[in-house]
Structure 1
């Protein structure tokens, strides 16, 4: 899970990778403004996403769900269990962005299949007029992670229904020839230019950055949602640091 905080219209978050409702609820009460439930790199499926959505629901933190791919069937299932904000990975061009939007909309605006009687999202048809309200409740964020996507950013931003664009620094740096080094000056220049361009288009720029100085720099440039931590990283590094502190005292 990505973890984050908000300041005015900017939001910081953390990523949930552990795939457990228990840890999701723990983090939902920690003060982050949004939590990303990751289905791209973490061992999540529709059932574990549902469990985490239920765990987060009583808390102020807003859930964002990332499917493994820009797949309309997977998106439909995630929407039916209650996801309303999706982060679609590896969007390369305007056509793929339009496909992502269409997958979140009921016809005639899109291609989302109608199964509201079975869906938690509609509270099993207990929400009056859900089918006519649902489209307006969706938030679609797309992730740009390559030089190709960067070159197509202007046309992606022109797609109606795209609410924000999230920059993936790890994949972007790899695609630019600097794998494992997202802080390379060329990568940073591309990121900063993209943030400014996204904000100027009236869309929300976002990024994952655990480096505090860089995260603050992106917020200053206009980023509106910044993931500042990952649950598995917090647990792993915290456990290692605790063990090392006590191991260092043993003579």
Structure 2
């Protein structure tokens, strides 16, 4: 059996923009529905959604037949958790709150086997090796791995160039919500200071020869970030899209049920 191809990594290499959706329901059933929408990639969120390693595995299995490429965000930098995620078959891994090149190098090591890293060998126990059916997995696994590091703080933005330059980091993803909060502009990622920091991180990442991504559910933001050089953009969040559609649907009936009042005056 051949090593499974990382469709997300291959698509990024093509140079075409990749539009993604956040998958936050922590359910294989919901993830499969989301995978069928046709987005280029989907983020299975292990940081802010109530996910565990088994629930992430269930979602990977559910979306495997679909063209939407799964990206998994871990909850932390824990190398033990990273090992588990890689062993269940995660090939594109996003790590939140990276603030230094030193942290980035440690994350690369967590995804590599010795002598290039510290990843433990699971062999026939792991889905990643297709239970030992993939030949020479240990020496070739890194070829299909894609490591995305998130910069979402003042320190992360200031160190974006050094972080992006780390060998083994494939892309830098910017988090506007945490960044704006950390800069003192709570709930306002459109603030000029936040926008300046975002653009500086994109520029630094591109200068290092790496790719940049961002979460931008508002269309005007997504198009601006793409113009600035972001190649992969999450343009929707499943929970938010459902909530917005449900509220709009209910509002139509609430409004139509309101009693009509006459404007006639006496």
TM category, shorter: over 0.9
CA distance in 2, matches of 1:92, 1:77: 23
Query: Runs in 1 of length 4+ with deviation above 4 angstroms?
Result: 5-8
CA distance in 2, matches of 1:195, 1:202: 11
| Structure 1 equivalent of residue 4 of structure 2 | none
| Structure 1 equivalent of residue 25 of structure 2 | 18
Q: Deviations over 1:68-104 (max 9, x none)?
A: 0011011011111110010100001011001111111
Is this contact kept in 1: 2:92–2:147, CA < 8 A? yes
| Structure 1 equivalent of residue 220 of structure 2 | 213
Is this contact kept in 1: 2:100–2:163, CA < 8 A? yes
CA distance in 1, matches of 2:28, 2:80: 24
Task: Determine whether 1:58 maps to 2:65.
Answer: yes
- Aligned match of 1:182 in 170, 174, 189? 189
Instruction: Flag the structure with larger Rg.
Output: 2
Superposed displacement of residue 194, structure 1: 1.4
- Aligned match of 1:81 in 82, 88, 93? 88
What SS does structure 2 have at the residue aligned with 1:218?
helix
Relative to the length of structure 2, the TM-score reads 0.90
With 145-154 and 84-93 compared, the bigger mean Cα shift is at 145-154
Task: Determine whether 1:248 maps to 2:250.
Answer: no
CA RMSD of aligned residues (A): 1.4
Structure 1: 5+ residue stretches without partners:
none
CA distance in 2, matches of 1:194, 1:148: 11
Superposed displacement of residue 8, structure 1: 5.1
Q: Deviations over 1:140-160 (max 9, x none)?
A: 000001111111112112211
| Structure 2 equivalent of residue 139 of structure 1 | 146
| Structure 1 equivalent of residue 105 of structure 2 | 98
Q: How many residues align?
A: 247
| Structure 2 equivalent of residue 225 of structure 1 | 232
Structure 2: 5+ residue stretches without partners:
1-10, 259-266
Superposed displacement of residue 200, structure 1: 2.1
Task: Determine whether 1:9 maps to 2:16.
Answer: yes
| Structure 2 equivalent of residue 197 of structure 1 | 204
| Structure 2 equivalent of residue 44 of structure 1 | 51
